[in-house]
Amino acid sequence: MALAPAQASDFSEPWKNTDRALVIDAYEYNPIDWTELSTDKRIVGFINKASDGMPPAYFCFGDETATRLCKALWKRHAVAQELFQTRKVVAKALGLKWGAYHLARPGNPVGQANNFINFAKPGPDDLLALDIEEDDPTKWMSLEDAEEFVRHVHRRIGRFPVLYTNGKTAKHIADNKYKYRLLSRLPLWYARYKPDIGVHFPMGNWQGYALWQFSAKANCGRFRCPYRVAGTPNDIDVNVAPMDAAALRAQWPFGGLIDAQPDYLASIPLPLSRAAGLAGNVTLTYATVAPPPSFTEMVAMFSAGWAKFRGSLQMPAVGTALRLPRRIADYLGWLRKEKPSASAVEAVPTDPVSTASTELDRTPR
């Protein structure tokens, strides 16, 4: 999929532009007044938390405390799933686009992907997202496991999830895009609670975001908040899209991979006029360079070079009489008697691997 590059204004308080669509994301403990929420016509989508790591153990066993905890986890899991499906019905009835995210935990990426799909039961127009809070494999899913998670989701439903993560993790993925070939090409749901992200956004890999989570509990309180949504608490997460409502509905649910971007020489930007630079909010364009060769290409290159070097060491063939090594005296005598012409030398085929024959020369002398 080809996401349109974001404009400079989309990196600095774009929610103040009334043309930009908004999306809410919530978890099971966020109360929602759907009647009030529906009065905000800028709200286009609603993304709800689905699964969290692996599902609870199917059988409860152990002492009384362990059994009580197991049953409590199952109750919470069942209530969360029921609430998820109820909100899905209500949101779609109000004309909102629907989405689900999985909170990624350490270990078993395939099992977590199966839990996500079984929990969310996604329809063809439901957005899916993988939530990686931080690049800390002791607390959250490792990036290597996240690659396998994404791969397994695609195996099961034929499309890819959106990647939700913060600025630091997004930059690490962008800097190592040849290692994380799937994560670096997922549409980016960017989490950063600052009014301006132009200097932080990883433009070398992503040319823009699919969604930017700009408001949350971290920067929205009783007295000050970037954007308040009617019918929701202060800690609700609010996201802005770099497009209007019609464009967001058309691109929803972002189920493909973004186009691979060329590498850039960050130290050699293309010329920028002084007037444009003083105006601010400009997008730098860099001279493109060829991507580094893959391992297979490097092996082929070295093999071709070695073959050429080895070929330069081969002696020209001078006829069948020279197929076996000869004593120097025999060779000189033969050379004086039967010196081959240049055309005869060129006409004799040569073995590209070896100049010596493996058969005995029985030519009478």
Domains of the chain: 14-251 (3.20.20.80)
Lowest-confidence segment of 32-36, 216-220, 306-310, 322-326 by average pLDDT = 322-326
Lowest-confidence segment of 36-45, 92-101, 178-187, 355-364 by average pLDDT = 355-364
Mean pLDDT over 306-313 rounds to: 71
Residue 290 has a pLDDT of 54
Residue 360 has a pLDDT of 46
CA pair distance 216, 227, nearest whole angstrom: 9
* pLDDT of 291 higher than 60: no
Lowest-confidence segment of 51-65, 109-123, 258-272 by average pLDDT = 258-272
Mean pLDDT over 86-100 rounds to: 98
Q: What are the two backbone dihedrals, phi and then psi, of residue 66, each rounded to the nearest 5 degrees?
A: -65, -40
Q: Is 317 left (phi over 0), alpha (psi -120 to 50) or beta?
A: beta
Residue 163 has a pLDDT of 98
* pLDDT of 143 higher than 60: yes
Residue 283 has a pLDDT of 64
Amino acid symbol at 104: A
Within 10 Å of residue 245's Cβ, how many Cβ atoms?
18
CA pair distance 220, 237, nearest whole angstrom: 9
Residue 306 has a pLDDT of 76
Mean pLDDT over 312-319 rounds to: 57
Answer for the pair 150, 160: CB distance below 8 angstroms, yes or no: yes
Lowest-confidence segment of 216-230, 271-285, 343-357 by average pLDDT = 343-357
Taking the CA of residue 114 as centre, how many other CA atoms within 13 Å lie in the half-sphere pointing to its CB?
6
Please give the residue that has the higher pLDDT: either 88 or 278: 88
Q: Choose the most confident range, by mean pLDDT, from 51-65, 225-239, 284-298, 343-357.
A: 225-239
Mean pLDDT over 135-155 rounds to: 97
Residue 9 has a pLDDT of 87
**For the chain, what is the mean pLDDT?**
84
* pLDDT of 177 higher than 50: yes
Mean pLDDT over 320-337 rounds to: 57
Residue 121 has a pLDDT of 97
Residue 308 has a pLDDT of 73
Residue 322 has a pLDDT of 46
Q: What are the two backbone dihedrals, phi and then psi, of residue 238, each rounded to the nearest 5 degrees?
A: -120, 135
* pLDDT of 33 higher than 70: yes
Q: Which residues pair with 127 in a beta bridge?
A: 99
Lowest-confidence segment of 136-150, 156-170, 300-314 by average pLDDT = 300-314
* pLDDT of 155 higher than 80: yes
* pLDDT of 213 higher than 70: yes
Mean pLDDT over 309-329 rounds to: 56
Percent of the chain with pLDDT over 90: 63
Mean pLDDT over 103-107 rounds to: 97
* pLDDT of 299 higher than 50: yes
